Structure 1
């Protein structure tokens, strides 16, 4: 059975009944100041304890204790498996912090055999976590062939464990040519790439590229909830997977932030795509899954 969609931050798992007769009697005696209590403590899961945050409040390069870089056009030179057109660098021309904002910049330029450059940051080997709330406040770019993403990959238990068996959680991705549509997805064995478990969300009466929005997930045992600005638009559980498919979201995942150019998901830039393109990140915050209390 599919879990009920519930408000952000707090996930009610158990609710006991009121002692109706006692409450009625006591409410007469203490009408103003008394609030009836339940006969057992309500059990909730919350995400209030910060385990990692980067407010990007220093200038220059991102904090090296949190962020590393993917460099190049993929380990096999195939555009990171998606036929992307950019070459990722760690140059300040492609990634820097200005006025409290992380700025990723995609440029049209000839560089190391590629026609575009951009940046891809990740917390691999620096920060990872199982379960919790992961969120970032981001302003995305606009333009045909531009592909910004805020996402996560599972930590490999061995060098032989590869994608999609390690799992992937896409907190936010969008096609630059479709500025009202947000996509949240899970990838795993038997449900990856074009067969991922996904849901699209159309931002009502607004565009994603005209301002900052908070993109997040709340992740616990057997569910991943996707949010934009604390609006819950997607919930995925093991019941949503193809028959016989494995749920691989019960181990540490690390964070990635990148802006790709081109690729099978968005297509190539066209004559109307303006460069440079920028993806702005105000903060990244991660909260602990506090379990039941």
Structure 2
């Protein structure tokens, strides 16, 4: 199964003819192709009378002109053996996701997840993690299958949890870790961000689902234990709740400077499950570790900040602000924080985390 995504911004009108007879599930169409509710007036679609709806929610479309106007949303084209691509004419409008340009900043590194739908991410950039890691009481077994980790074909990557009775904890999911590391440099501002959306399952169907965009100190790969390696969580959200958490973990477990296992954190309300930009900046322009800052943002809105003086230990601060870091993208299932899935929890694309790009900038 492949879900591909392409985004257009602005107001446009397009017409196309479906040249062959196809069955297209409009139940899935409205769930996946237009995740923004109609009540938000994202656009209008006009289907002629030859497009009709069966009781099974399957309209038959044959040589049918379909006119549609859209304002601003993400179009997801769901393809399966039973589905067909409705709008081939849209391919010419597709543009790859790309990190923005910021005045005064240079792009150091980015992955825009280009490639065919169903492919794995670029293994020059990412390690695809497999197995049950045995952390936090989580249930998922991470898999390299494109059922769990795949490029969408629309310049995004999808990390998808699935209930799976054959897996040790009853769930499989996706997790990737960057081979790339970066160090917030002295005397400049470093910025790391990703653009992320979540699947459209209702909050009542996401108990136990735990997506995250975060970083660990590279020293973990070289023998330093957690949390002494340092951890910066750019975004976590649990159970489908529209609250994003930014957290720092450090020093020792339990307790310590960062009050482990809880860490030090801030949070912000998320307007919806659609695309938002999650960012951390490291400001080392003061040349004084105590006044250096690490700041969290959603869509440019600050929601958490710490400085060296708050941590109060220069060696511990260095693990967060002076030393190499690497990225992690994953969807966990279960654990001490979100709790465990219940009978209403749904896996699949409706509970996925989709990422358009990850990028690092520096002044």
- TM-score by length of structure 2 reads 0.60
Q: Is the 8 A contact 1:150 1:255 kept in 2?
A: yes
Distance in 1, matches of 2:268 and 2:221, equals 36
Does residue 203 of structure 2 align to residue 148 of structure 1? no
Deviations 1:68-121 (A, max 9, x none): 1221111xxx2xx20100000111110111122201110001234230000110
SS in 2 for 1:83: coil
Change beyond 3 A, Cα 1:243–1:130: closer
**Equivalent residue number for residue 199 of structure 1:** 266
Deviations 1:32-88 (A, max 9, x none): xxxxxxxxxxxxxx76111111111212110111111221111xxx2xx20100000
Unmatched tracts of structure 2, length 5 or more: 1-102, 185-189, 285-291
Distance in 1, matches of 2:183 and 2:314, equals 23
1:225 CA displacement = 0.7
1:157 CA displacement = 7.3
Correspondence for 1:106 among 161, 167, 174: 161
Correspondence for 2:197 among 122, 129, 139: 139
**Equivalent residue number for residue 66 of structure 2:** none
Does 278-287 or 145-154 show the bigger shift? 278-287
1:242 CA displacement = 6.7
Does residue 332 of structure 2 align to residue 270 of structure 1? no
Change beyond 3 A, Cα 1:73–1:112: same
1:282 CA displacement = 1.1
Size of the aligned set, in residue pairs, is 233
**Equivalent residue number for residue 329 of structure 2:** 257
**Equivalent residue number for residue 237 of structure 1:** 307
Does residue 181 of structure 2 align to residue 181 of structure 1? no
Correspondence for 2:275 among 209, 212, 224: 212
Change beyond 3 A, Cα 1:47–1:165: farther
Correspondence for 1:128 among 181, 184, 198: 181
Q: Is the 8 A contact 2:209 2:333 kept in 1?
A: yes
Unmatched tracts of structure 1, length 5 or more: 1-45
Does 114-123 or 266-275 show the bigger shift? 266-275
